[in-house]
Amino acid sequence: MFAVQTDVLQPGSTEEFLRYAYPTDSRATLNAYTICIRIKILQYRDIVPFFSYAYSDRADNALLMFQVGDRLDYYIEDQKLSSGLNIIVDDTIGGWHLYCMAVDHSTYRVYFDGTLVRKDRLAGRTTGLPLNGTLYVGQDQDRYDGGTDPDQTLSGFAAQLNLWDYALEEETVKSLAGCLENLRGNVLSSDVDALDQPGVTREAVPHRAFCAADSRFVIVPLIRQAPAARSFCSLLDSVFFVPGDEETNDRLYQESNNFKDVCDFKSYRRLLIAATDEEEEGVWIDMNTRRPLRFTQWFDGEPNNGQNDNCVVMRTDMPRWGDLNCAYSNCFSCGMTSQNFFFIRGLCKSNEHQIRFIMDGYVNTRPYFRGYYGMAIFNVGEGTWVLKDTMANLTLATMTMEQPEEYPLGRTVWDVLEPFCDFAVGDKINLGLSSCTIEEFMCSDGSCVPRNVRCNLREDCVDGSDENDCGIVLFSGRYASHRPPPGRTYREVLYIQPHVHIVRFSKIDDINLAFYMEFEVHLTWTDRNLKFKNIKEEEDKNKLSTEEVASIWTPEIEFLNVNDGLLKKLKSNVYARQTGEAEPPDFNDAMMETIYLPSSVALVSKTFYSASFSCNFYLFSYPFDTQMCSVLIELDSADTSVVNFINDSVIYSGLMTLPKYDITEIISQLAKKSDYAVTKVKFALERRWSLLVLTIFIPTILLLGIGYVTLFIRLAEFDVRTVMTLTTLLVLYTLFNQVSSDLPDTAYIKMIDMWFFFCIFLIFAVNILHVLVEHLPSGETNVFKISSNAENNLVSKLRKVTGPWTMKTVRVLVFPVVVFVFNLVFWLTIFTAD
């Protein structure tokens, strides 16, 4: 095994590599061959070259295999055959992987960890592989035996470099990858042949060690209880550590000796072990997996003290364990594998792979954090931490913790010392260090919660930071709140959707020709000059703050038919409505906000009013009338060349049956007045006439009947007849006056007026008839006496017409008919003229 540039805190170098040079005068050529190498990457650079073989400046990529992030690239006979293929491989660091390339004349196969990832034919004429060149491991030679670049080097370990003069079978490659055999190359083997190794150290290890589980740990010299230790490790995507074998346990003890000054502060206890028997006394389990421990290293007489001591600690005097009460605090360790990593957010990296960090080793006796691509965060004393670019050897930023023993986990504020990204010297920037993925939100302490709980009005983070800075609007630098934003393009009209929600009609005022109502006006528009963050599907959870509403443009409306200025704005809010999907999360965002573009969010202004509006009641058909009333809403922000209404709508959620009216129709219409957009909300009020018939028409009919009945009273009872008709007449007039007082004054005659005029006139005529009958001449002394012959002739003629009827019957029946005909002709003449 070869260690190549394993000091990850140093920049890349072209002085450390493995090299094997074939004789330049060799005439040997391989038409079929297999080359394999096992690599453990410790740090990424622009590219990570595994091997590079060149036999001339014109054939500098005769064989080349390298990795960029999670993509495997390779050249064969100067052809980049991996272009556009996106062969995805494991991109974590610290794990061993076997890479193989097998060529058989015109075909080739590429393997990763024994799995065939590519099989294809070589393009063009194949010439074979001349064995007169130079093979580099850990460097990319851009010309024969040279042209190396420090940013294109391997930082890690290499082993089992083998070259065969034939193409290995797939089963053989799988066997090599699984460490089932150690087949050495018959042309070249790093286990046998001597390689140039400037700056590279070499160590012999059994080949099965490359497939063994990697057990890494870092001791954290913080005094914590077991639950807090677990939380600390989880923030860094690691686990509260428990050794799994004696060798690892001994290494943990030996490494803990470096922290005696901090950890050996009480009795025999030094280091907490992630084990407990609190679930079942005497059955010790791993706190992380909840599985029984297969390895224990108890000190003589331990464990003891029964249920009082449910936690495990490593002793100070030897690598043995003892049990203790879980209320005690001690140092602890975090364990990890090559699959564990966390992220630093707040920088300007081009892909998420570049913001990966791991906790690895110690600087100044404190664990430090290093990135996949040469960034490092470490302590320099007195609670001060620095962010360093090891590739450029620059300290970029620094920060000091309030508590010197604490670590910069979660979201912290740093002072910029060197210009980088878009930051200038002296800037203060937020950096976030946690294991939270882009599907999660990072709390200030580094813990993770689902992204959709951000700003949901509930504290889901322990520190409540998910409800901090919950503004919705993101302003651009040139935002102007005094003018309307543009429409879909910068030359188009801004369209606003009006929606009126009528809550209830509180009063219909027939006298003042007005109606009172409570309603809410919704105005919906899109502001292309704004972005938004953390929008929820539930619109009511997206209320803009008072400061935000005051800072954005909102449409202004006016009600054109308000009655006597009776308009009250009860409440007003602006909400953001999600209409599209959020932007892909920005992995560099330390605040981990969910951002929405203007096209994905609509602003909705909701204003609740109580108002009185004028309505032109036309009462000719009263009480069988239907009134059409409306509310006129004008958009006053600008004329229709700038803003306009579109897709208007209205709903009514109140009772359809009011005390006096039934609401039969509610519609909205768009209109324009003096180049300003208007929406008209119209509704029909159909009067409920059943009670009016009961209180007006039936009483008047009964009164008419009373007046008519007086015609049948004996002629001798003049006083009775006149008093009854006069009383009936007065009651009719009083009723008429009362009904008229409940209606507005109009210049036109209404049907109800016609009815009362007819009734009053009829009773008046009856009364006149009674007087006339009383003053008719009687006896022979009357000057108007009719001769007996004439009277007999008249009576005879009348009897011919009326048959057996008496004269009184004829008088009584003919009179109302005559009066009715007179009224009908009179009123028809009036209304025809009207």
Condensed to tens digits (0 to 9), the pLDDT of residues 220-237 reads: 999 999 999 999 999 999
Confidence band, pLDDT 50/70/90 cuts, at residue 476: confident
Place of tokens 């194949």: 126
- Residue 815 is predicted with a pLDDT of 57
Q: Identify the helix (H) or strand (E) that includes residue 322.
A: strand 321-324
Q: Stretch 209-222: mean pLDDT, rounded?
A: 91
The token pair at 380 is 């320099």
- Residue 390 is predicted with a pLDDT of 92
| 540 vs 573: CA distance, rounded Å | 10
3-state class of 712 per DSSP? helix
Whether the pLDDT of residue 685 is over 50: the answer is yes
| 50 vs 71: CA distance, rounded Å | 13
| 326 vs 312: CA distance, rounded Å | 8
HSE (side-chain half, CA atoms, 13 Å) at 797: 5
The token pair at 409 is 């986990």
- Residue 779 is predicted with a pLDDT of 47
| Cβ atoms within 10 Å of 633's Cβ, excluding its own | 23
Q: Stretch 551-562: mean pLDDT, rounded?
A: 94
| 669 vs 681: CA distance, rounded Å | 6
3-state class of 41 per DSSP? strand
Question: At the topology level of CATH, where does 494-526+543-570+600-687 sit?
Answer: Acetylcholine Binding Protein; Chain: A, (2.70.170)
Q: What's the mean per-residue pLDDT of the chain?
A: 89
Whether the pLDDT of residue 831 is over 60: the answer is no
Strands 494-509, 643-645: pairing kind: parallel
Confidence band, pLDDT 50/70/90 cuts, at residue 722: confident
- Residue 435 is predicted with a pLDDT of 94
Whether the pLDDT of residue 628 is over 60: the answer is yes
| Percent above pLDDT 90 for the chain | 67
- Residue 774 is predicted with a pLDDT of 74
Sign of CA dihedral 235, 238, 242, 248: negative
Name every residue whose Cβ is closer than 8 Å to that of residue 717 and which is 6 or more positions away in sequence: none
Name every residue whose Cβ is closer than 8 Å to that of residue 43 and which is 6 or more positions away in sequence: 8, 93, 155, 156, 370, 372, 373, 374
| 287 vs 701: CA distance, rounded Å | 95
3-state class of 397 per DSSP? strand
Strands 87-88, 79-80: pairing kind: unpaired
Specify whether the CB–CB gap between 770 and 710 falls below 8 A: yes
Phi-psi domain of 44 (left: phi exceeds 0; alpha: psi -120 through 50; beta: other): beta
| 307 vs 647: CA distance, rounded Å | 72
Phi-psi domain of 649 (left: phi exceeds 0; alpha: psi -120 through 50; beta: other): beta
Q: Stretch 805-830: mean pLDDT, rounded?
A: 56
| Phi and psi, residue 627, nearest 5° | -105, 140
What kind of architecture, by CATH, is found in domain 216-336?
Roll (3.10)
The token pair at 620 is 């000719």
Whether the pLDDT of residue 282 is over 50: the answer is yes
CA torsion, points 432, 435, 441, 443, in degrees to nearest 10?
A: -60
- Residue 805 is predicted with a pLDDT of 44
- Residue 155 is predicted with a pLDDT of 96
Place of tokens 């390689």: 195
DSSP states along 516-568: EEEEEEEEEE--TTEEEES--SSGGG-BPPHHHHHHS----EEETTEEEEEEE
Specify whether the CB–CB gap between 106 and 124 falls below 8 A: no
Burial of 374 (0-12, 13-18, 19+ CB in 10 A): buried
Helices assigned H by DSSP within 344-465 = none
- Residue 332 is predicted with a pLDDT of 96
Q: Stretch 345-364: mean pLDDT, rounded?
A: 93
More confident residue, 63 or 831: 63
More confident residue, 437 or 816: 437
Instruction: Report cis status (omega within 30 of 0) of the bond before 303.
Output: yes
3-state class of 480 per DSSP? coil
Pick the CATH number of 690-833 from 3.30.420.40, 1.20.58.390, 3.50.50.60, 3.65.10.10: 1.20.58.390
| Cβ atoms within 10 Å of 320's Cβ, excluding its own | 16
The token pair at 820 is 């009715």
Pick the CATH number of 2-211 from 3.20.20.80, 2.60.120.200, 2.40.50.140, 3.40.50.1000: 2.60.120.200
Specify whether the CB–CB gap between 105 and 126 falls below 8 A: yes
3-state class of 796 per DSSP? helix
DSSP states along 114-147: TEEEEEEE--S----EESSSEEEESB--SBTTB-
Closest of 598, 582, 637 to residue 490, by C-alpha: 598
| 799 vs 783: CA distance, rounded Å | 25
Q: Stretch 688-708: mean pLDDT, rounded?
A: 86
| 686 vs 621: CA distance, rounded Å | 11
- Residue 794 is predicted with a pLDDT of 46
Condensed to tens digits (0 to 9), the pLDDT of residues 159-210 reads: 999 999 999 999 999 999 999 999 999 999 999 999 999 999 999 999 999 9
| 629 vs 513: CA distance, rounded Å | 10
| 183 vs 192: CA distance, rounded Å | 12
Strands 649-652, 494-509: pairing kind: parallel
Q: Stretch 202-219: mean pLDDT, rounded?
A: 91
Q: Stretch 388-406: mean pLDDT, rounded?
A: 93
Q: Identify the helix (H) or strand (E) that includes residue 382.
A: none
Condensed to tens digits (0 to 9), the pLDDT of residues 488-535 reads: 877 889 999 999 999 999 999 888 889 999 999 999 999 999 999 999
Condensed to tens digits (0 to 9), the pLDDT of residues 347-356 reads: 999 999 999 9
Specify whether the CB–CB gap between 146 and 204 falls below 8 A: no
More confident residue, 257 or 776: 257
3-state class of 348 per DSSP? coil
Question: What pTM value is reported for the model?
Answer: 0.78
Whether the pLDDT of residue 553 is over 90: the answer is yes
Do you know the residue count of the chain? 834
- Residue 813 is predicted with a pLDDT of 56
Q: What share of the chain is helix, strand, coil (3-state, %, to 5)?
A: 20, 35, 40
More confident residue, 282 or 41: 41
- Residue 798 is predicted with a pLDDT of 42
- Residue 576 is predicted with a pLDDT of 96
Condensed to tens digits (0 to 9), the pLDDT of residues 140-161 reads: 998 999 899 999 999 999 999 9
More confident residue, 820 or 274: 274
Q: Distance between alpha carbon 220 and the CA centroid of its chain, in Å?
A: 38
Whether the pLDDT of residue 85 is over 50: the answer is yes
- Residue 706 is predicted with a pLDDT of 86
- Residue 305 is predicted with a pLDDT of 82
Least confident of 567-576, 726-735, 812-821: 812-821
The token pair at 744 is 């507005």
Confidence band, pLDDT 50/70/90 cuts, at residue 821: low
Angle CA 556–557–560, to nearest 5:
155
3-state class of 206 per DSSP? coil
- Residue 778 is predicted with a pLDDT of 57
Whether the pLDDT of residue 802 is over 80: the answer is no
| Percent above pLDDT 70 for the chain | 93
Q: Identify the helix (H) or strand (E) that includes residue 799.
A: helix 788-802
- Residue 792 is predicted with a pLDDT of 52
DSSP states along 637-657: SS-TTTEEE-S-EEEE-S-SB
Condensed to tens digits (0 to 9), the pLDDT of residues 746-796 reads: 778 888 888 888 888 888 888 888 888 777 665 443 433 444 454 455 445
- Residue 676 is predicted with a pLDDT of 94
- Residue 808 is predicted with a pLDDT of 52
Name every residue whose Cβ is closer than 8 Å to that of residue 833 and which is 6 or more positions away in sequence: none
Whether the pLDDT of residue 726 is over 60: the answer is yes
| 409 vs 445: CA distance, rounded Å | 6
Whether the pLDDT of residue 562 is over 70: the answer is yes
Rg (CA), the chain: 50
Closest of 373, 379, 414, 416 to residue 392, by C-alpha: 373
More confident residue, 83 or 442: 442
- Residue 760 is predicted with a pLDDT of 86
| 256 vs 238: CA distance, rounded Å | 18
Specify whether the CB–CB gap between 736 and 760 falls below 8 A: yes
- Residue 704 is predicted with a pLDDT of 84
- 828 pairs with which residues across the strands? none
Query: What are the structural domain ranges in the chain?
Result: 2-211, 216-336, 342-435, 494-526+543-570+600-687, 690-833
Specify whether the CB–CB gap between 159 and 211 falls below 8 A: no
Name every residue whose Cβ is closer than 8 Å to that of residue 280 and which is 6 or more positions away in sequence: none
Sign of CA dihedral 686, 687, 690, 693: negative
